Structures are given as C-alpha cells and as structure tokens.
Amino acid sequence: MAAEVLVVEDEPDIRNLIVHHLTRDGFRCDTAGNGTEALTRLRKGLPDLVVLDLMLPGIDGLEVCRRVRADPTTAALPIIMLTAKADEVDRVVGLELGADDYLAKPFSPKELVARVRAVLRRARPTETARPLAVGPVSLDPARHAVSVSGRAVELTPKEFDLLHALLAAAGRVLTREHLLNRVWGYAHADMIESRTVDVHIRRLRSKLGDAERRIATIKGVGYRFEKE
Ligand code: CA
C-alpha cells in the first residue's frame, strides 16, 4: 500500500505543490493548514510520515513536533520539518526536537520527495545490519544501541545513523556529500547542508567522551573514524 504523508503547511500554494509532487510519486496525501488541525488529524490515525512547516499560525511547527514526540502513540512518527530560513536549521537541530530531517525553503519538490523516501526507508529497515565495534565504540543497529567502553550512550536518530556510517567505513574518509546522501538522503550538497554534517559531528563527538578523538576531521574533505 502506498505510504501516507500528512502535509502541514498554511500557505496553500506550497501545500498544493508538495501534495502534487508526492501524489505524482505514488504517495497518498492528507493535509492540515495549521498546527491544531494537524494534531487533531493525528489523533484520528497515523500517517507514515509528516511534512511539517515550522512557521504556522497558532501552534507552530516546533510545538507540534514537541507534542508528537511527547505522546507515546505518535513519538516514533517520522517528521520532515520545513524551515523558512537557513539560520533556523541550527535552531531546529539545537533544540533536538527529534525531527528526522529538515529542508530550508525554498526547496526543490524533487529534493523533498527524495527526502521523504529516505526517511521512510530508514523508518522501515528492510534488513537488520550487523553489530559493529571499533576500538571502545560499539553500535548495535538491531537494538539501536551505542556504547563507549561498555557505557551506554544516548544518540539522536541522525547522530546514530552518522556514527553507523562512520563505523561501517572505519579507516576510510567519508566526504560530507557521501554522509549527506547516506544519512540524510540528499541528492546534492550546498553550504548549508554541509554545515548540517559538521553540526551533527560536533554533537556526536561531545557524546562519545574519550572516544571523540576517533572521529578525525579531514580538512576540506570530510570525516574518518580512526581504527587506532
Ligand atoms: Ca508557513
């Protein structure tokens, strides 16, 4: 059955554009024009994913996201946040509201469709990847668990995916473009998106304690997880 996407956007033109492209790509769509409507809609049944505009009249996108994550019945719902300005990206990331992805306006509808597919693919893994361990860092995809020297570490879904990619390629340099594609599903990378990787790497390092030095920055290229 086609995946269902709830599109929450108050501007009719943008809402219609998103629905048009998603529908054309085989998704079923439902819409809400504001945060209250979105929350009411979610109480009636869950879509597979929500595309959520940050700037909404009344209850804004951040608050909708917060409430969705706080409610156990909707906590795992994949959310892609739409932000109006590039500098809001840091705010959204910094607040760690748990949006699975975000896209700055103006965005290409093709890019949005690609992101929707990438987030859904991650939300419904087709295979269970094997556990990985490099030095003191262990990651078990099946349990979504990470530990450093036996101590459990809490990571956001993006930080987890990022560490997963780095560990799986331990000893090799991964470019920002590769990480953006692998972890975020981006088809291409611009300045803002590259910064997204850096922001997440910084947060990931800060959670790894002594093992943070294992993530080496390869200037102008990307990152490498050191085996030694
Ligand atoms: Ca808006």
Write down all domains in the chain, each with its CATH number in brackets. 4-123 (3.40.50.2300), 132-225 (1.10.10.10)
* C-alpha 16 – ligand 1 centre gap (Å): 13
* pLDDT in the model for residue 127: 39
Cβ(108)–Cβ(17) under 8 Å? no
Residue written as tokens 């108050």? 10
* C-alpha 53 – ligand 1 centre gap (Å): 6
* C-alpha 45 – ligand 1 centre gap (Å): 24
The amino acid present at 89, given as its one-letter code, is: V
* C-alpha 55 – ligand 1 centre gap (Å): 4
Pair of tokens at residue 188: 């291409």
* C-alpha 106 – ligand 1 centre gap (Å): 12
Give Cα separations from 17 to 9, 96, 113, 185, 212 (angstroms): 11, 28, 11, 21, 43
Distance in angstroms (rounded) separating the CA atoms of residues 149 and 152: 8
Distance in angstroms (rounded) separating the CA atoms of residues 158 and 141: 13
* C-alpha 33 – ligand 1 centre gap (Å): 9
* C-alpha 166 – ligand 1 centre gap (Å): 36
Give Cα separations from 50 to 38, 40, 42 (angstroms): 9, 13, 10
* C-alpha 72 – ligand 1 centre gap (Å): 27
- Mean pLDDT per 10-residue segment, the chain (228 residues): 87 96 91 96 88 93 89 85 74 66 88 92 62 93 90 93 90 85 68 81 95 94 92
Distance in angstroms (rounded) separating the CA atoms of residues 204 and 50: 26
* C-alpha 59 – ligand 1 centre gap (Å): 11
* pLDDT in the model for residue 126: 44
* C-alpha 82 – ligand 1 centre gap (Å): 9
* C-alpha 136 – ligand 1 centre gap (Å): 45
* C-alpha 36 – ligand 1 centre gap (Å): 14
* pLDDT in the model for residue 20: 96
Q: Is 106 left (phi over 0), alpha (psi -120 to 50) or beta?
A: beta
For the chain, state the CA radius of gyration: 18
Could you read off the pLDDT of 25-56 as tens digits, one per residue? 889 899 999 999 999 999 887 888 999 999 99
Q: Which phi and psi angles does 75 have, rounded to 5°?
A: -55, -35
Query: Please, which residues have CB less than 5 A from ligand 1, an ion?
Result: 10, 53, 55
* C-alpha 142 – ligand 1 centre gap (Å): 37
Q: Say whether 102 sits in a helix, a strand or coil.
A: strand
